[in-house]
């Protein structure tokens, strides 16, 4: 089969104005970026009659090195629903440059279920990531300038929590020392860098409902503490207005298309562990206002992405998801059944059965939020009928519809069974969505609730710093915020080696940090990196541009 980049570059794309017209948008309501990309003006939606579309989430089982293909399934599902004469809007995150040039690759789907122009989307796109990096960097610069100019707020340089950001994997920047070179070069102190997708500015960008809300949230960012341990916020540095200015154009959602011409909003891209791992709330609301059905995706498995989608994004945005697709593969189930990556090709029904409990738990997670699950088996050429039948039998015993998905090889046509299953679930209307816990619950109890009900843990152990942090955060008015638990994506536990559906474990929380502007607190477990490194041979080593200007080796 041809590479993703070859398929994407050889595709014949419709002008973006034609794609916008499918959603009832005229050219005057767009800001064009060439022929195939546009931003939708936020004022275009004022006074427009809402269609009140229906929201479908695509999530998955625990990620494995074998890959599950959630984005590919989401794109294929959107195309298949379009083939069933539904007005569909696909809502996805923007890729980060770091993973693109590292090991993970892009985030535009694959094969014949892609969003395009794929190369643009995976590289600079419309500049949103650069705007977010710039806004983050402005706050960093104004913070250190405040220290240099006499520090009238009394910020303790040892208690600064705001790091710098760059949209690239660079482990050497995790911990740095700045201000070297004498008195004219600033205050010398320890610092470090996050990748832009891990920035609180990114999380704020994706949860803001308009420019006013964006500026208010930016102003609430806690950059550090005084010697008396009082929080210092971005608004006290008078930074939030200029940060909003840098994000002004970026806040309008980006419109592109799938290979089959389905409208797709690609906007925002926060991490799915230290943030909520979903595309922007603005883009989702636009899709719901213009379309019959919105298909969206949350990062990692249901224990991370879906839980944060339900408990954070849906709570903030007053969204009501009506169905959730849980993506899995025979290969990932074998991995959770203890099979090494090098031995996934041959038939092994027993290993599939050993891995099914992981799928069962992710189904259980979705149901705990009152959302009906549908299982999508993303097919690979090595899958056998006996292996597929084992999964279908297990899902049948759980009362869950399962559909085989072949979007990678066949696009929308290969995902029609899944589309029909989703439409049947929407027709039944059995969903009764509710977040897992009430906002007024204390922070420690929220963490305990997620650990027990979502992960299946026996309980939570709060280390000393975590207990002190919770007391501090509740004392400064952050008790009613939702929690965002940062843990490994590879296991339901906080130990990445415990695959399948582990039992008898506890979650250890080592610290709890505020994302006061985004509107949640982050509970840190294990060793979660906010600045990834590059592998021994980065994907960038195989990329280039040929003599005709065509991108080579992107994926």
Q: Is 100 helix (H, G, I), strand (E, B) or coil?
A: helix
Contact indicator for 280, 287 with CB cutoff of 8 Å: no
Q: Shortest CA distance to 421 belongs to which of 405, 403, 396?
A: 403
Q: List, as one string, the DSSP characters of 180-244.
A: -SSGGG---EEE-EEEGGG-HHHHHHHH--SHHHHHHHHHT-EEEEETT--EEEGGGGT-HHHHH
Contact indicator for 31, 69 with CB cutoff of 8 Å: no
User: Per DSSP, which regions of 4-99 are E strands?
Assistant: 30-32, 38-40, 54-60, 88-92
* Cβ neighbours around 332 below 10 Å, total: 29
Q: Classify 273 in phi/psi space as left (phi over 0), alpha (psi -120 to 50) or beta.
A: alpha
Angle (CA) 222-228-234 rounded to 5° is 20
User: 129 phi and psi, to 5 degrees?
Assistant: -60, -40
3 class by beta-carbon count within 10 Å (0-12 exposed, 13-18 middle, 19+ buried): middle
Distance CA 416, CA 408 (A): 13
Read off the pLDDT of each residue in 10-35 and give the average, rounded to a whole number: 95
Give the Å distances, CA to CA, from 52 to 22, 43, 87, 117, 369: 16, 18, 12, 28, 21
Chain-centroid distance, C-alpha 387: 30
Angle (CA) 71-369-428 rounded to 5° is 80
Q: What is the pLDDT of residue 103?
A: 77
> What 8-state DSSP symbol labels residue 540?
G
Q: Is the pLDDT of residue 106 over 80?
A: no
Q: What is the pLDDT of residues 364-413, one digit of tens each?
A: 999 999 999 999 999 998 899 999 999 999 999 999 999 999 999 999 99
Residue ranges of domains in the chain, CATH in brackets: 4-127+250-428 (3.40.50.300), 154-246 (3.30.1510.10), 443-525 (3.10.410.10)
Distance CA 151, CA 349 (A): 65
Residue tagged 């991995």 (tokens): 335
Read off the pLDDT of each residue in 62-69 and give the average, rounded to a whole number: 87
Distance CA 293, CA 55 (A): 6
Q: What is the pLDDT of residue 67?
A: 80
Q: Is the pLDDT of residue 551 over 90?
A: no
Angle (CA) 343-344-348 rounded to 5° is 100
Dihedral angle sign, alpha carbons of residues 71, 457, 365, 350: positive
Between 246 and 48, the higher pLDDT residue:
246
Q: What is the pLDDT of residues 422-460, one digit of tens each?
A: 999 999 988 899 999 999 999 999 999 999 999 999 999
Read off the pLDDT of each residue in 543-548 and give the average, rounded to a whole number: 89
Q: Is 530 helix (H, G, I), strand (E, B) or coil?
A: coil
Q: Are strands 483-486 and 38-40 parallel, antiparallel or unpaired?
A: unpaired
Read off the pLDDT of each residue in 488-516 and give the average, rounded to a whole number: 96
Distance CA 518, CA 204 (A): 4
Q: Lowest-pLDDT range, 104-113, 134-143, 375-384, 475-484?
A: 104-113
Distance CA 247, CA 466 (A): 33
pTM as predicted: 0.95
Q: What is the pLDDT of residue 147?
A: 97
Q: Is the pLDDT of residue 513 over 90?
A: yes
Distance CA 165, CA 142 (A): 14
Q: What is the pLDDT of residue 554?
A: 80
- Long-range contacts at 12-15 (CB < 8 A, ≥ 24 apart): 13/116, 13/117, 13/257, 14/257, 14/261
Q: Shortest CA distance to 161 belongs to which of 116, 192, 137?
A: 192
Split at pLDDT 50, 70, 90, the class of 104 is low
Contact indicator for 67, 272 with CB cutoff of 8 Å: no
Average pLDDT, the chain: 94
Structure tokens at 177: 């020392």
Distance CA 71, CA 93 (A): 10
* Cβ neighbours around 502 below 10 Å, total: 18
Contact indicator for 425, 372 with CB cutoff of 8 Å: yes
Q: What is the pLDDT of residue 552?
A: 84
Read off the pLDDT of each residue in 92-96 and give the average, rounded to a whole number: 94
Q: List, as one string, the DSSP characters of 101-136.
A: HSSS--SSEETTEEEESHHHHHTTTTSHHHHHHHHH
Q: What is the pLDDT of residue 528?
A: 82
User: 32 phi and psi, to 5 degrees?
Assistant: -80, 140
Q: Is 71 helix (H, G, I), strand (E, B) or coil?
A: helix
Say how many residues make up the chain: 555
Q: What is the pLDDT of residue 44?
A: 83
Contact indicator for 89, 287 with CB cutoff of 8 Å: yes
Q: Residue 155 pairs with which residues in a beta bridge? A: 226
Structure tokens at 64: 């494995």
Share of the chain above pLDDT 70, in %: 99
Dihedral angle sign, alpha carbons of residues 356, 419, 7, 99: negative
Q: What is the pLDDT of residue 105?
A: 62
> What 8-state DSSP symbol labels residue 281?
H
Q: What is the pLDDT of residues 148-192, one digit of tens each?
A: 999 999 999 999 999 999 999 999 999 999 999 999 999 999 999
Split at pLDDT 50, 70, 90, the class of 219 is very high
């Amino acid at each position: 089969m041809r590479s993703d980049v070859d398929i994407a570059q050889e595709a014949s794309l419709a002008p973006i104005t034609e794609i916008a017209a499918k959603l009832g948008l005229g050219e005057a309501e767009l800001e064009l970026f060439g022929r195939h990309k546009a931003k939708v003006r936020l004022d275009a939606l004022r006074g427009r009659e809402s269609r009140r579309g229906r929201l479908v989430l695509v999530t998955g089982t625990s990620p494995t090195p074998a890959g599950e293909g959630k984005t590919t399934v989401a794109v294929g599902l959107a195309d298949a629903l379009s083939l069933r004469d539904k007005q569909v809007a696909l809502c996805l995150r923007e890729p980060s440059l770091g993973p693109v040039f590292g090991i993970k690759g892009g985030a535009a789907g694959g094969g014949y279920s892609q969003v395009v122009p794929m190369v643009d989307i995976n590289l600079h796109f419309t500049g949103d990531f650069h705007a977010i990096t710039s806004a983050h960097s402005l706050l960093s610069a104004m913070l250190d300038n405040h220290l240099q100019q006499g520090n009238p707020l009394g910020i303790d340089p040892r208690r600064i929590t705001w790091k710098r950001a760059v949209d690239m994997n660079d482990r050497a920047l995790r911990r740095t020392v700045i201000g070297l070179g004498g008195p004219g070069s600033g205050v010398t102190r320890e610092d470090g860098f996050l990748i832009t997708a891990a920035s609180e500015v990114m999380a704020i960008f994706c949860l803001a409902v308009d420019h006013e809300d964006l500026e208010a949230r930016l102003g609430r960012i806690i950059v550090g503490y005084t010697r008396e341990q009082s929080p210092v916020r971005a608004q006290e540095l008078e930074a939030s207005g200029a940060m909003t200015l840098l994000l002004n154009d970026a806040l309008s959602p980006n419109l592109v298309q799938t290979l089959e011409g389905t409208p797709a909003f690609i906007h925002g891209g926060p991490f799915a562990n230290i943030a909520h791992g979903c595309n922007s709330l603005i883009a989702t609301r636009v899709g719901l206002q213009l379309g019959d059905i919105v298909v969206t995706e949350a990062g990692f498995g249901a224990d991370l992405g879906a839980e944060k989608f339900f408990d954070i994004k849906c709570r903030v945005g007053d969204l009501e998801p009506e169905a959730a697709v849980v993506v899995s593969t025979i290969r990932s189930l074998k991995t959770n059944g203890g099979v090494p990556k090098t031995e996934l090709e041959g038939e092994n029904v027993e290993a599939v059965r050993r891995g099914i409990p992981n799928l069962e738990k992710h189904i259980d997670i979705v149901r705990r939020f009152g959302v009906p699950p549908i299982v999508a088996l993303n097919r690979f050429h090595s899958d056998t009928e006996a292996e597929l039948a084992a999964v279908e039998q297990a899902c049948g015993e759980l009362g869950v519809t399962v559909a085989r998905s072949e979007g990678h090889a066949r696009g929308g046509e290969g995902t029609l069974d899944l589309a029909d299953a989703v439409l049947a679930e929407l027709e039944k209307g059995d969903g009764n969505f509710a977040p897992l816990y009430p906002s007024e619950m204390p922070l420690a109890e929220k963490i305990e609730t997620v650990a027990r009900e979502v992960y299946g843990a026996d309980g939570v152990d709060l280390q000393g710093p975590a207990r002190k942090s919770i007391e501090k955060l509740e004392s400064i008015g952050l008790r009613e915020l939702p929690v965002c638990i940062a843990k490994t994506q590879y296991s339901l536990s906080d130990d990445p080696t415990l695959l399948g559906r582990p039992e008898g474990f506890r979650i250890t929380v080592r610290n709890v940090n505020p994302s006061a502007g985004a509107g949640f607190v982050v509970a840190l477990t294990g060793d979660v990196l906010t600045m990834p490194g590059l592998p021994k041979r980065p994907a960038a080593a195989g990329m280039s541009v040929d003599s005709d200007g065509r991108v080579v080796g992107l994926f």
